[in-house]
């Protein structure tokens, strides 16, 4: 099973964002966290900045929306040319219509579930989506610890995806280190988001890499 890496620019240096986008250009995707200070208690960036990142990024955009009213906003992020747009399942009014709108605008559609959200209702949506994101931390902040209790849910999602025969990706996001990436992949993840372990907790690129390569991931 191929494993894709999607570094999160939440831990990049926003003043030097174009530089930091190029420092991960051997990864597969770039993960862009959009937070609105309503769905989560943190505020990051919005549509105009995602549009601009789309113009300069060497990698396809993996946009992760942690916002209220994704039914209104998510299709607009898809229209920027984003490769993938993930909405938070708990915030969506009509997930099926929303997934169709995202796909209709040319992006892959994905649904994210928080650590305490049951996965089963979302497995009915496998025909309509291209990826499930199992959050392995409470959404809102980088640098948190991986919640191991989410692993049974990840395995349930893997089993349902495999049984469906559909090419639906399974992403994890939050607390990924050199240790937890192994746990996540062993439990079925094929797409890995990593912020602080790639860029460093200080918001600067990981000095241990010494190159433009995204790895090795830094533990802790
Ligand atoms: O969605 C997110 C937080 O809500 C981030 O993508 C995630 O936390 C990445 O950061 P780290 O790898 O440091 O945990
Ligand atoms: Fe994220």
Mutate to test the pocket of ligand 1, among 142, 189, 191 (most ligand atoms within 8 A of CB): 142
Q: Does the interface predicted TM-score (ipTM) exceed 0.90?
A: yes
Q: So what's the pLDDT on residue 65?
A: 99
Pocket of ligand 1 (CB under 6 A): 8, 10-11, 31, 33, 64, 66, 137, 139-144, 173-176, 193-197
- pLDDT band at residue 203, thresholds of 50, 70 and 90? very low
Q: Which residue among the candidates 20, 33, 62, 190 is catalytic per the annotation? A: 33
Active site residue 33: yes
Using a pLDDT cut of 70, give the percent of the chain over it: 91
Q: So what's the pLDDT on residue 219?
A: 30
Q: So what's the pLDDT on residue 216?
A: 40
Ligand-binding site membership of 173 (annotated): yes
Q: What is the pLDDT of residues 100-117, one digit of tens each?
A: 999 999 999 999 999 999
Ligand-binding site membership of 141 (annotated): yes
How far apart CA 195 and CA 177 sit, in angstroms, is 10
CB crowding 180-201: b at 16 or more within 10 Å, else e = bbebbeebbbbbbbbbbbbbbe
Query: pTM here?
Result: 0.92
Q: Which residue among the candidates 62, 130, 173, 190 is catalytic per the annotation? A: 173
Backbone angles phi, psi at 163, to 5 degrees: -65, -30
Residue count (the chain):
220
CA 141 to ligand 1: nearest atom: 3
> Which residue matches tokens 């937070």?
35
CA 176 to ligand 1: nearest atom: 12
How far apart CA 170 and CA 133 sit, in angstroms, is 6
**For residue 183, pLDDT beyond 50:** yes
Domains of the chain: 4-199 (3.20.20.70)
Q: So what's the pLDDT on residue 208?
A: 45
């Amino acid at each position: 099973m191929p494993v894709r890496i999607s570094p999160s620019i939440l831990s990049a240096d926003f003043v030097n964002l174009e530089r930091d986008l190029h420092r991960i250009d051997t990864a597969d995707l770039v993960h862009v966290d959009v937070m609105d200070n309503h769905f989560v208690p943190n505020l990051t960036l919005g549509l105009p900045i995602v549009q601009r990142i789309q113009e300069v990024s060497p990698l396809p955009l993996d946009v992760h929306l942690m916002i209220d009213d994704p039914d209104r906003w998510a299709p607009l992020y898809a229209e920027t040319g984003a490769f993938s747009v993930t909405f938070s399942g708990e915030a969506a009014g009509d997930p099926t219509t929303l997934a169709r709108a995202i796909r209709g605008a040319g992006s892959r559609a994905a649904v994210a579930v928080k650590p305490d959200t049951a996965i089963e209702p979302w497995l009915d949506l496998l025909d309509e989506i291209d990826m499930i994101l199992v959050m392995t931390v409470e959404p809102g902040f980088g640098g948190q610890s991986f919640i191991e209790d989410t692993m049974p849910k990840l395995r349930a999602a893997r089993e349902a995806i495999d049984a469906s025969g559909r090419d639906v990706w399974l992403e994890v996001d939050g607390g990924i280190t050199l240790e937890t990436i192994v746990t996540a992949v062993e439990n079925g993840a094929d797409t890995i988001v990593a912020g602080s372990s790639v860029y460093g907790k200080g918001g600067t690129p990981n000095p241990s890499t010494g190159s433009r390569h995204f790895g090795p991931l830094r533990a802790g």
